[in-house]
Each structure stands twice: as C-alpha cells, then as structure tokens.
A and B are shown apart, each in its own frame.
Chain A
Amino acid sequence: MTDQAVASEVGRARPRKEDARLITGQTNWTDNISVNGMLHLAILRSPMAHARIERVDVSPALERPGVVAAFSGRDLDGLGSLPCAWPVTEDIVLPDHPPIALDEVRHAGDPVAVVVARDRYAAADALEAIEVDYEPLPPVLDLEAALAEGSPLVHSDKGTNRSYVWPLKTGEDFDSVRRRAEVTVKRRYVHQRLIPNAMEPRAVVVTPLAASGEYTLYSSTQIPHILRIMMAVVTGIPEHKLRVIAPDVGGGFGSKLQVYGEEAIALAVARRVGRPVKWTESRSEGYLATHHGRGMIQDVEIAAMRDGRLLGLKVDLLTDMGAYLMLVTPGIPILGAFMYPAIYKMDSYDFTCTGVFTTRTPTDAYRGAGRPEATYAIERIMDELAAEVDLDPVELRRRNWIRHEEFPYTTIAGLTYDSGNYEAATGKAIALFEYDKLRAEQADRNARGDTVRLGIGVSTYTEMCGLAPSRVLGDLRYAAGGWEAATIRMLPTGKVEVVTGTSPHGQGHVTSWSQIAADVLGVPFEDVEVVHGDTKAAPQGMDTYGSRSLVVGGAAVHHAAQKVVAKARKIAAHLLEASEQDLDFADGVFSVKGSPEARKTIQEVAFETFTSHDLPDGMEPTINAEHLVDPDNFSYPHGTHLCAVEVDTETGRTKIRSYVCVDDVGRVVNPMIVEGQVHGGLAQGIAQALFEEAVYDEEGNLVTGTMADYLVPSAADLPEFVTERTETPATSNPLGVKGVGEAGTIASTPAVVNAIVDALRPLGVHDVRMPCTPERVWRAVREARS
C-alpha cells in the first residue's frame, strides 16, 4: 500500500484566504453585530482602587431618556463567581469574584452597576445618574509590603494577601552547589505590568430566545468552547441551551483567553430584560477591565565555575495577581517555572513562586505567559555571569547549552526536550548579524569614549508550547485537558470543510489548515474551507492560546484527513473492483496498480457516498472523519536573537540598529505566516523592553489609562527585522511543527535589554529597569558615574 500525498502545499507561502474580507471592510467584528430590539449596555466602574460599597442606587438612571433597565450587583442575583480554572496548589487562597461588585470594589474599574438603553450614547450618559457611596479602604500595591504583617488586605475575609506558594526543587540542593561554586551572581529583575492592547476592543452581544430559554453569546474571545462551559456554570443557563460564537476577532495575545464578567453580565441582563444586549468596551475602559500581563519581581541567583560551567539556579518570584484570580491567573508563572533553566545543563534548580493579591486589575496570560519572564531572568543573568567570568556572552551560552546530539534531553526542571539544534541557530544568527564586526566597532567606540555607545545583546530561548498533554495539565491542577479536535466533511460536490476546535484571531488558521488538509487529501487548496469559532458549527475544541493551535489542532486536521483517505480507499476499491492493497493514492486520486487508467478521485468518492447507490455491503455512507489529538509531550521551539543598539549616554535614547533572529519552529506550513508571527512577537517583546508600562499612582489609579498615555509602538518606533529559520522537526506530532505565536516575544525582551546593558557596562551599569526609557537609561548612566 503506497499512500503518497505529494507535499505541495505545506511549506508554501500562500497569501491568506482570510484577507479578502479584511482588506475590503467586509468584516464581522462583534461590535458590527446589530439585531432588532438590541439594547446597549454600559457599566459603571469603581473610580477607586479599594473601597467598601455603602450604597448603590440605580433608580435615577431609569429616569434618563432611552434607559430600559439598570442593575446593581445585588439586583442581578443568580450570577456565580467568575471561575479560576487553575488553582495551582491545594491550599490556594481563591476569593469570590462577583461579575458586579457586591460589598467591596478591589481595583479601579471593578464593575459596580450596569445600565441598558436604546443607544450607546444614552447608556453611557445614564451611568452618571447612578448614585454610589464608597467608604475608601487602603490600596494594596507593593508586592513585598502586601506580604508584611499588618498590611491592609485585598480580601479581608481571607486574612492574607498571599494567594499561594508554589515550589519546585530538583537535582542537587542549591545550598550545596552554592558552596562548591566558584562564582555566584544574584540579581533582582522586575517585569512591569503590561496592557495587551489587542486592536479590537472587547465586545459582547447576547441574543436571547426567551420562550425556549436559548441564548447566543457573541464575544470577542479566543476561547468560545471554554467560555460556553464556564458561562453555563456562572449563569446557570444549561450548556446545551447556550451557543457561543467568536466572530472575527481582532487580536488577543492572551487578553481574550478569559472568562469575563461582562460576558456573564450581558447574559444575565439579556435574560432579565428579554431583549438582545450589546456591550462594547472603550479602549480606556479596557485598560481597566481587560486583564493585564506580567507584573513580577524575580530574585535570581546563579552558581557556576570560573570556566562558566553552570551548577545551579535559584529563582524566587513574587507575582502580582491583581485583585482576583481569573481564568488562569495563578498558573501563568507556573508555565514559566519549567523554563528558567532554558536550554542549559545544570545540577540544581530551586524555584519558588508566591502569588500576591493587589488592588489592581487582575493579571493573566499575555503573549508568552510566564515564559518571557523566565527567559528574561535566565538570559539577563547569563550576561551578568559572562561579565563576571570574563567570557563572551555567546561563548558562555555555548559552554552550557544542550548539544544537538544530546536530544532527547531531560532538563533539570523535568521536561524532556525532544529536539533542537542550538548550535545551528546560533551559528546562523551570528553570521547574519556580523557579530565579530560589531564587536570590533564596539571596542573601537569604547576606546574612543564615544558618547553614543554600541551594545550587543544576545538571547537564546526555548519554550514549552503546544499546550498540552492533558495528563501533565492534570498533574499541574489545571481544570481542563489539552487535546484538540478536527472534523473533515467531504461535501457531495467535492468541496471540503475542515471543522477545527481552534479559534483564530489573526493567525491565519483558515489558510494553514487548508494547506494541511489539501496535502493529505490531494484536493486543491481552493476547495477547502475551514469552519471555526462557533460552538454549534464546530462543537468541540480547546481553542487558541499558548502556541498550541498548529501543534495540536493542525495535527488533528492531519490525522482526520488521513482517516478520510482510509475510508475513501475502501469505497474506491469497491468501485474499481480492486483490493485496497492494490490501490495507489496520490494527488487525490486512487488508481489501480499496474492499470493507472482505472481511477477515482477522492472527490468522486465523496459524491458516491452522497448517492450511496453502490457502496460495499454494510458500509456507512460517509467518508467524513473526526480526530482528537492529545499530545504526549509539549513542543519546544527555540532560537537565537541578536540585537545591536546605539545608546546615547547624554540623552539616554536607545536606537535599535539591527535585529537578527533565527528561530527553529520545526517544520513550517506557511513561511509567510510564520514570519509575520515572528515580526509581531518581536514588536511586543521590544515594546516591553523599551516602551510599555502600566503605571499606577500611590492611590492605585491607573495613570497610563488611555492609549495616549501607554506607549504602544508605531511603525516609526521599530526597526526592520532580519528573520531567518533553522528547521529541526518536532518529534511529538506528525507534522514536525512546534508553534510560533510566542517565540518572538520571548527572546526579544532580554536581547534588547542585554544590548543596552552591554553598551553601558564599561560605564559601570549592570541593569536598567524596564521599560528602558531615555530617562531610566540616563539615570542609570548618571548613577554609575557618581
């Protein structure tokens, strides 16, 4: 039996099928949806970081023109607490999280009351009529002070601001390696809070069918399937009566991997008033109401020998949960826990993470989710160690990384990396970057005492992605599995529908999944359509996050297509009056070995199943197939990023002069899409290094509360990137793919900061806190000089 799907689509830079609508404005964003009788919902939010609610009176709002109803938290009873699906420890402190605050507000932006009105202006206007009396309570903002005895409490009934402590100790005891180490370096790094800033603000539309108790929830979400389950639990609407649709979704970056209060509120209000309801956040509202990312203090200690050989790593984290534990809030640093040892070999690893409540917007997944933080810590301290033992930073990494012949390799953190080639990626990056030439220029500038210094930053990385083996997730106390589903429907006219459980929001799944299916089925790329993002049309799935979609969902498409071919073979054999073993299958055609004129295309077979006039006895009249993949390992993309910066020591201004990255994301389905993913990741990682920070004042107000205050970089702020690849296939899935969504974000932040510190190290600077604004760089130079 020779099954040869000619691999003509996978690997091809196909322009995307998604684009035609998007470049002509024929879009279906949630906020575009308008239905008869629809009301607009607006939310009154707490202006204070922390206060007791003494009184809420919504009745004055009802007098306002166009207002149909208004509710406080108490009025909308029957809503459960918003869920946390990842209680990382048995004794985690897990407070209630009412969608509308009942007795206390715990961050600026916590919902207090809602209004529905006939248009969006009327709803917004009516909010100001609602009367609320607050009794201010002290804000909790500093992570260390929050843990001190006598600190004000975010959740007073819990008696502590400590949510959990999660340890991981492996290998030799760290104290013991510290004793035998010739060098130890200890540093504190701080990850500022970031605001994800998907370009599409969140929006929700609910259309109720009161008579039958059915509800359709449209939401700008990454997770329609998970959302449906969670909304059934929170609102009490039976799961089978609830349909969730993620229409066109304008970016997510983790911020739409969430079960939001507004989704529950819209359902509850629509149920109460019996009319369709829409809520669309304004950008400034979203800055308070959509979860933030990062927010972590890292105490890191590395122990090594003089020759640079690593002995061990100790990591102590304080992570800012914000006011509540949302869907996977406590798990984010745990996704990073296994990545601090990165691509390096060592004898000891000692990790502890403490989750801390503060009176700020909750944190949760933001592009990379825990892994950028881990990579930043190890890659920053590797540079400090290189300086300490007087080695070139690349050479120090080379001395410690897992060599390509050592794969599969089980790391000190207990992960088994299936494949990789750090030598190849680094070698290619060094060559493209002209590393030696830049080092020579740097030495020259330093010798001249140039006021504009050249800095070279390197960062390697690997990440665990392709989330994930369900059993591992279970071991980590995550509430769901990590499988993914695909169904292939072979239509009578020969067209193909691929139904996927992934839920794209910019990643181009329609194009890539078409390529995968076209290859296996041997049908034209144009004949494939991909169905997603609707729990009625694509009922099974675990959605899109954690660079999982291609690795798990793409593999499911591949397997399902293979099942279709296997079913079609039986029918083709019957029709061609040959045995299955005597059939070849190539380019979508079954042909009889030795007599190639006897042939049936798989698309013809699909039609034969539709008529069913001549199928083998007892055969089910379909070649449609479904497959669920539950991977047995994570995938481990890796790469080497090099950044050259020019730092003006007199103004503090940093300019990225060149940026080269070589990523190994395994086999590539669509190189154009992969490159685009890397570009976008780089932009976000660089933005953390240089531009972005959610700043709060001492009262807990978000100071960077609008897009005018929070610096999302523009085209003029970013350089041209040189992106290249090496290709070491993953062994954990049939496509050999590893995932690419987060790669760029993970490595670029440390590469940039390492470059800045490298530029300033001769002046005595050893760190600059992110974002490395001109002011911070200037101050660092000044402090080092004085």
Chain B
Amino acid sequence: MTRISVKVDGTTYQDEVEPRLLLVHYLRDRLGLTGTPIGCDTSNCGACTVDLDGVSVKSCSVLAVQADGGEVTTVQGLAGDGELTALQKAFHEKHGLQCGYCTPGMLMAARDLLRENPHPSSDEVRHALEGNLCRCTGYQNIVRAVMAASGQEVTA
C-alpha cells in the first residue's frame, strides 16, 4: 500500500492505496465520486476524462499514486458554487447530451480545448474531441454546444 494525498474538487484526501489502483477507481470506489464514469478498458472512449493539474487526462489510464500531491477536477467540481459553467449550460441548451454517459468526459475535454483555444473552429472542436466517444448524439449538438460556450455559432 502507498500513501497518497490528492486534492479532488477542492477537498484534500489522504489514503492508503494499492499501487495498481486506477485513478478512476480511486475516485469512484474510494471517494464515492461516481460522476466520472468508465466506458472502456482501452482508453479509447474518454468518458472518464478528468483534469489533473491543469491537463485533461483519461483517469482510467492514470494510477491513483500518480496523482499523489496533485489536484484533480472532475465533472462534479465544475459548478463549484452551484452556478453552472458556460459549457454545462451550452450542453443543456444545445441538447449536447442524450444518455449523458459520455458527458462528463466531453465537458472536461471541451474545457481543456477552450482553455488552450478560446475560439476554435467547429473543425477544431471535432478534432479536439476525437478521443471522446459518444454513441447518442452524432456529435453535432456537442459541437454546437462547445461553439456556443465559446461565444460562436456553428456555420454549416
């Protein structure tokens, strides 16, 4: 067992973990932060995307011990004081989700994109979200939502 200290969505946790424990299982099973779901076992789907020290990572591909001393933001930490972020609002208003299973990962990946590129083209949005799979929406409204959150409309 290894002792780790991780700040997640503003709260610092100290835990003994098995070295092989995945960050996503640590979040879900140990901290009860089940907002971050698991969609695959090959790091293809991106559903488990979280922010680790300012970079979006697939939490199924990171060990909990690697997050030691780090700061994690999950979908549950986005609307910090109850106020939804622009991205969350846009996903709602543009119908950027159906079943919602991919949504936490989409939100985290899109957040990462807009941090680096505040006014992406819709093509850039599509490429930036390449590592996040959605089976319900055909992506069109996800792209619209991300564009709307960046203050733009999609022009076909």
For B21-59 the 0/1 string (1 means CB < 8 A from A) is: 100010011001111111111101101000000000000
Beta-carbon nearest neighbor of B18 in chain A:
A121
- A253-B135, A282-B41, A715-B129 known; A24 vs B100 contact (CB < 8 Å): no
B93 partner residues in chain A, CB cutoff 8 A: 15
Instruction: Decide if A708 touches B130 in the complex (CB within 8 Å).
Output: no
Partner of B37, one of A200, A673, A675: A200
Instruction: Decide if B141 touches A679 in the complex (CB within 8 Å).
Output: yes
Instruction: Decide if A201 touches B95 in the complex (CB within 8 Å).
Output: no
How far is A31 from B88 in the complex, measured between Cα atoms in Å?
23
Instruction: Decide if B101 touches A199 in the complex (CB within 8 Å).
Output: yes
A680 partner residues in chain B, CB cutoff 8 A: 98, 135-138
Interface residue A786 (Cβ < 8 Å from any Cβ of B): no
Partner of B36, one of A25, A201, A507: A25
Partner of A24, one of B37, B88, B139, B156: B88
Interface residue B125 (Cβ < 8 Å from any Cβ of A): yes
Partner of A721, one of B21, B138, B142: B138
Instruction: Decide if B140 touches A250 in the complex (CB within 8 Å).
Output: no
Beta-carbon nearest neighbor of B143 in chain A:
A715
For B64-102 the 0/1 string (1 means CB < 8 A from A) is: 000000000011101100001000100111010111111
Instruction: Decide if A23 touches B97 in the complex (CB within 8 Å).
Output: yes
How far is A467 from B8 in the complex, measured between Cα atoms in Å?
47
- A199-B45, A199-B136, A282-B41 known; A20 vs B99 contact (CB < 8 Å): no
A715 partner residues in chain B, CB cutoff 8 A: 125-127, 129-130, 132, 134, 139, 142-143
How far is A540 from B84 in the complex, measured between Cα atoms in Å?
37
How far is A620 from B76 in the complex, measured between Cα atoms in Å?
47
Instruction: Decide if B28 touches A24 in the complex (CB within 8 Å).
Output: no
Instruction: Decide if A248 touches B130 in the complex (CB within 8 Å).
Output: no
- A24-B84, A680-B138 known; A31 vs B132 contact (CB < 8 Å): no
B99 partner residues in chain A, CB cutoff 8 A: 198-200, 248-251, 505-506
Interface residues on chain B, size class = 35 or more
Minimum distance in angstroms from A631 CB to a CB of chain B: 25
B143 partner residues in chain A, CB cutoff 8 A: 715, 720
Beta-carbon nearest neighbor of A249 in chain B:
B99
Instruction: Decide if B75 touches A283 in the complex (CB within 8 Å).
Output: no
Minimum distance in angstroms from B146 CB to a CB of chain A: 10
- A24-B88, A679-B141 known; A251 vs B44 contact (CB < 8 Å): no
A720 partner residues in chain B, CB cutoff 8 A: 122, 140, 143, 154, 156
B141 partner residues in chain A, CB cutoff 8 A: 675-676, 679
A-B contact count (CB 8 A): 191
B37 partner residues in chain A, CB cutoff 8 A: 27, 29, 31-32, 200, 250
Instruction: Decide if A714 touches B39 in the complex (CB within 8 Å).
Output: no
A201 partner residues in chain B, CB cutoff 8 A: 38-40
Minimum distance in angstroms from B26 CB to a CB of chain A: 12
Instruction: Decide if B139 touches A683 in the complex (CB within 8 Å).
Output: yes
Interface residue A176 (Cβ < 8 Å from any Cβ of B): no
- A15-B92, A506-B98 known; A200 vs B35 contact (CB < 8 Å): no
A679 partner residues in chain B, CB cutoff 8 A: 137-141
Minimum distance in angstroms from A111 CB to a CB of chain B: 18
Beta-carbon nearest neighbor of B133 in chain A:
A712
Beta-carbon nearest neighbor of A33 in chain B:
B34
Partner of B126, one of A249, A708, A716: A716
A contact residues, total (Cβ < 8 Å): 59
Contact residues of A between 486 and 516, Cβ < 8 Å to B: 505-508
- A250-B37, A283-B39, A720-B140 known; A673 vs B97 contact (CB < 8 Å): no
How far is A712 from B102 in the complex, measured between Cα atoms in Å?
13
Beta-carbon nearest neighbor of B99 in chain A:
A506
Interface residue A595 (Cβ < 8 Å from any Cβ of B): no
Minimum distance in angstroms from A693 CB to a CB of chain B: 16
Partner of A25, one of B41, B75, B97, B135: B75
Instruction: Decide if A714 touches B129 in the complex (CB within 8 Å).
Output: yes
How far is A240 from B120 in the complex, measured between Cα atoms in Å?
56
Instruction: Decide if A714 touches B156 in the complex (CB within 8 Å).
Output: no
B33 partner residues in chain A, CB cutoff 8 A: 25
How far is A250 from B106 in the complex, measured between Cα atoms in Å?
14
How far is A718 from B139 in the complex, measured between Cα atoms in Å?
8
Instruction: Decide if A251 touches B98 in the complex (CB within 8 Å).
Output: yes
How far is A567 from B101 in the complex, measured between Cα atoms in Å?
41
- A32-B34, A251-B98, A721-B138 known; A24 vs B18 contact (CB < 8 Å): no
Minimum distance in angstroms from B64 CB to a CB of chain A: 12
- A199-B134, A707-B40 known; A22 vs B95 contact (CB < 8 Å): no
Minimum distance in angstroms from B42 CB to a CB of chain A: 4
B20 partner residues in chain A, CB cutoff 8 A: 121
Contact residues of A between 1 and 28, Cβ < 8 Å to B: 15-16, 18-27
A31 partner residues in chain B, CB cutoff 8 A: 28, 34, 37-38
For A237-254 the 0/1 string (1 means CB < 8 A from B) is: 000000000001111010
Interface residue B107 (Cβ < 8 Å from any Cβ of A): yes
Interface residue A411 (Cβ < 8 Å from any Cβ of B): no
A282 partner residues in chain B, CB cutoff 8 A: 40-41
Interface residue A706 (Cβ < 8 Å from any Cβ of B): yes
How far is A681 from B139 in the complex, measured between Cα atoms in Å?
11
Partner of B35, one of A25, A34, A712, A714: A25
How far is A672 from B95 in the complex, measured between Cα atoms in Å?
7
Instruction: Decide if A248 touches B135 in the complex (CB within 8 Å).
Output: no
Beta-carbon nearest neighbor of B78 in chain A:
A24
How far is A750 from B42 in the complex, measured between Cα atoms in Å?
31
Contact residues of A between 188 and 235, Cβ < 8 Å to B: 197-201
- A22-B100, A251-B98, A720-B156 known; A676 vs B129 contact (CB < 8 Å): no
Interface residue A410 (Cβ < 8 Å from any Cβ of B): no
How far is A673 from B136 in the complex, measured between Cα atoms in Å?
11
Contact residues of A between 558 and 609, Cβ < 8 Å to B: none
Interface residue A682 (Cβ < 8 Å from any Cβ of B): yes
B137 partner residues in chain A, CB cutoff 8 A: 676, 679-680, 683
B38 partner residues in chain A, CB cutoff 8 A: 31, 201
Instruction: Decide if B127 touches A507 in the complex (CB within 8 Å).
Output: no
Minimum distance in angstroms from B39 CB to a CB of chain A: 5
How far is A629 from B133 in the complex, measured between Cα atoms in Å?
37
Minimum distance in angstroms from A124 CB to a CB of chain B: 11
Partner of B92, one of A23, A197, A721: A23
Interface residue A137 (Cβ < 8 Å from any Cβ of B): no
Q: Measuring CB to CB, which residues of chain A are less than 8 angstroms from any residue of chain B?
A: 15-16, 18-27, 29, 31-32, 34, 119-121, 197-201, 248-251, 253, 282-284, 505-508, 672-673, 675-677, 679-684, 706-708, 712, 714-716, 718, 720-722, 744
What would be 13 A-B contacts, judged by CB atoms less than 8 Å apart? A23-B75, A23-B88, A24-B75, A25-B104, A121-B21, A200-B101, A680-B137, A707-B40, A714-B126, A715-B127, A718-B138, A720-B143, A721-B140
Pairs of residues from A and B, 5 with the lowest C-beta to C-beta distance, nearest first: A25-B35, A22-B100, A506-B99, A250-B101, A679-B138
Contacts A197-B135, A199-B135 known; 18 new A-B pairs at CB < 8 A: A15-B95, A20-B92, A23-B91, A24-B78, A25-B34, A26-B35, A29-B37, A199-B136, A248-B100, A253-B135, A681-B138, A683-B137, A712-B45, A715-B130, A716-B126, A716-B127, A720-B143, A720-B156
